[in-house]
Amino acid sequence: MPTFDLIVRGGIIVDGSGSEPFTGDVAVHDGQIVAVGRVGGEGKRELDADGLLVTPGFVDIHTHYDGQALWSERLSPSSWHGVTTAIMGNCGVGFAPCRPTDRNMLVELMEGVEDIPGAVLSEGLDWRWETFPQYLDALEERPHDIDFAAQIPHGALRVYAMGSRGARREPATAPDCALMAQVAREAISAGALGFSTSRTLNHRTSTGDPTPTLTAAEDELLAIALALRDAGTGVLQVVSDFRDADVEFAMLRRIVERSRRPLSLSLVQSHRQPEAYRHLLELIRAANTAGLPIKAQVCGRGVGIVLGLDTSLNPFSDRPLFRELSKLPPSDRISRLREASIRAKLFERTHAPRGFAKTVLHNWDNLFPMAETPDYEPRREDSVGALARAQGRDPRDVALDCMLDRGGEGLLYAPILNYAGGCFDPLLEMLRHPDSIPGLGDGGAHVGMISDGSFPTHLLTHWTRDRSRGERLAIPWVVRAQSARTAQAVGLEDRGVLAPGYRADLNLIDYAGLRLCAPRVVADLPAGGRRLLQRAEGYTATVVAGEITYENGEPTGALPGKLVRGPKPPPERRQGA
């Protein structure tokens, strides 16, 4: 009789602790790791991991699968990139709690903030819930390829408590705050992992209105945070512009001080204030030195938009001629766009680009062709503008030719955050900071312009192996950062480490062959909606709760993933209870 359900044999084990890799086996039984090292006995299934990295499953703490988890068993693209647990409900947006009269408002908010088409959400959501506990029950009905957990979003909570006054950003009264606190406490008790809010002007509804939570006062945020304190659990997640960093951070620090709940905030390098991130890191360090659990969520690469013939935007998407050509079958459209007369008409303009079109879509020196294996740390001499000057051509010509490449699937990349100096040295500083953790991949969101759910793969390939323009990071450091450290940051301490008693979430990785593919536009959403998806090569197998879910990038049919309700203690605490 087999001794174990699964044995991974002879792999290079990177266990998530930060320790040096070692060669050994991993044995699994009943969804848990039971032995690591040299394992005797037999498994019902055995995987030969000779020459492969064996890592914990990655824990992505910043996704937006709030809708997708309801209509799909597969939380792609995250599940293609070694992620075995995803946390959604970030940035204060989501679909519960919600009264029937407010459904359209929450759809418009998600559509505007996270670029998920309203038609997709309208068809994909069946609204079998009103309260947050009912929403969790609805999520739990469908099996999934990975585990996931939800946070209660401030936008939905505020509108639920205040109705149209909440949407209009009116100040919350004491009864409003009390009701929000009560509903938040009920959500945490039902299994919400935390609470999220947004305080950035970049977050607007599809009709252009600011997010309902933009100007929420300290007493409102504190009331909700104290509800988490009273519940004895729950994390806080915040995205903010930090227009007055000292004042804004001081408020967040007071909230953490009073509630004692861990808080993470989004941290990026602004191209307008490229040094401002350092001051926030100093404030975060001072808070942690004082014993306050505040962390920065940082990216592993630039935050940028992807431009192509079928994406939401490109340098010509505002032109009536391009919109007409977009109605043609792809082969006909490509043929027409190669015609000199069509291109001349397409390039005609009655006025110079302004605003976003000028700073991003027509900023030729910050637009980069994406190769089949994308380079996210490109040199300025590889930009569309530099190529056009070197070839003596119009940059619009070069940009259009790039998008016509690969049968019309060619793409351009425009980094808009984290790339002010044209290299990743500031990112290295952010990643290495003791109070930062990887995040902000936004899997499930920004489906028409951004493809960052691949961050976990990029962290491994670029930062440990491929980077040629500066220092690299060690493999154990990166694995620990996006498994054990992210899991601990949200209270899921039963995963992220390859050791006995931990959850059997693993990746077998062909490190030498690991690579990111270029994003593709795929029409696989409800209502025929399209999204950018980015695959990876080199994941030999992914294991969730002891079951093999993917082999060589293809699904096995196993769907062991579940909704995770509330925090999970580490094995030693469970055993000692």
CATH code of the domain containing 526: 2.30.40.10
- Asked if 447 and 549 sit in the same domain, the reply is no
Residue burial 350-372, b: 16+ Cβ < 10 Å; e: rest: eeeeeeeeeebbbbbebbbbbee
Residue 307 φ then ψ, to 5°: -120, 130
- Asked if 327 and 370 sit in the same domain, the reply is yes
Residue 84 has pLDDT above 90, yes or no: yes
What is the C-alpha separation between 329 and 224, in angstroms, rounded?
52
* pLDDT recorded at residue 546: 98
* pLDDT recorded at residue 1: 65
* pLDDT recorded at residue 349: 77
* pLDDT recorded at residue 54: 99
Is the residue at 218 inside a domain?
A: yes
Residue 169 has pLDDT above 90, yes or no: yes
In this structure, the number of other CB atoms found within 10 A of the CB of residue 270 comes to 15
Is the residue at 495 inside a domain?
A: no
Render pLDDT for 222-260 as a digit per residue (tens, 0 to 9).
999 999 999 999 999 999 999 999 999 999 999 999 999
- Asked if 276 and 179 sit in the same domain, the reply is yes
- Summarize the confidence of residues 22-41 as an average pLDDT: 97
Percent of the chain with pLDDT over 90: 97
Is the residue at 311 inside a domain?
A: yes
* pLDDT recorded at residue 573: 62
Q: Are the C-beta atoms of 98 and 156 separated by less than 8 Å? A: yes
Is the residue at 496 inside a domain?
A: no
Residue 217 φ then ψ, to 5°: -80, 165
Residue 574 has pLDDT above 80, yes or no: no
Q: Please list the residues that pair with 264 across neighbouring strands.
A: 237, 295
Render pLDDT for 418-473 as a digit per residue (tens, 0 to 9).
999 999 999 999 999 999 999 999 999 999 999 999 999 999 999 999 999 999 99
Range of the domain at 384: 305-417
What is the C-alpha separation between 8 and 51, in angstroms, rounded?
12
pLDDT band for 268, please (50, 70, 90 cuts): very high
Domain count along the chain: 3
What is the C-alpha separation between 122 and 105, in angstroms, rounded?
11
Secondary structure letter of residue 500 according to DSSP: T
Render pLDDT for 100-142 as a digit per residue (tens, 0 to 9).
999 999 999 999 999 999 999 999 999 999 999 999 999 999 9
String of DSSP letters for 379-413: -GGGSHHHHHHHHT--HHHHHHHHHHHHHHT-EEE
Residue 356 has pLDDT above 70, yes or no: yes
- Asked if 38 and 145 sit in the same domain, the reply is no
- Asked if 122 and 266 sit in the same domain, the reply is yes
* pLDDT recorded at residue 354: 85
Render pLDDT for 286-321 as a digit per residue (tens, 0 to 9).
999 999 999 999 999 999 999 999 999 999 999 999
Supply 176's token pair. Answer: 């409003």
Is the residue at 341 inside a domain?
A: yes
- Region of 270 (left: φ > 0; alpha: ψ -120 to 50; beta: rest) is beta
Is the residue at 371 inside a domain?
A: yes
- Summarize the confidence of residues 509-536 as an average pLDDT: 97
Is the residue at 494 inside a domain?
A: no
Is the residue at 479 inside a domain?
A: yes
- Asked if 324 and 290 sit in the same domain, the reply is no
- Asked if 293 and 280 sit in the same domain, the reply is yes
- Asked if 387 and 447 sit in the same domain, the reply is no
- Asked if 83 and 149 sit in the same domain, the reply is yes
- Summarize the confidence of residues 157-167 as an average pLDDT: 98
What is the C-alpha separation between 303 and 313, in angstroms, rounded?
16
Which of the listed residues 388, 417, 446 is the one where a domain comes to its end? 417
What is the C-alpha separation between 106 and 114, in angstroms, rounded?
12
- Asked if 315 and 399 sit in the same domain, the reply is yes
* pLDDT recorded at residue 353: 85
Percent of the chain with pLDDT over 70: 99
- Asked if 8 and 140 sit in the same domain, the reply is no
- Summarize the confidence of residues 525-538 as an average pLDDT: 97
Which of the listed residues 463, 489, 515 is the one where a domain comes to its end? 489
Which of the listed residues 364, 394, 417 is the one where a domain comes to its end? 417
- Asked if 373 and 425 sit in the same domain, the reply is no
Please, what is the average pLDDT of the chain?
96
* pLDDT recorded at residue 575: 53
What is the C-alpha separation between 145 and 76, in angstroms, rounded?
9
- Summarize the confidence of residues 161-168 as an average pLDDT: 97
Q: What is the CATH number of the domain that holds 124?
A: 3.20.20.140
* pLDDT recorded at residue 576: 45
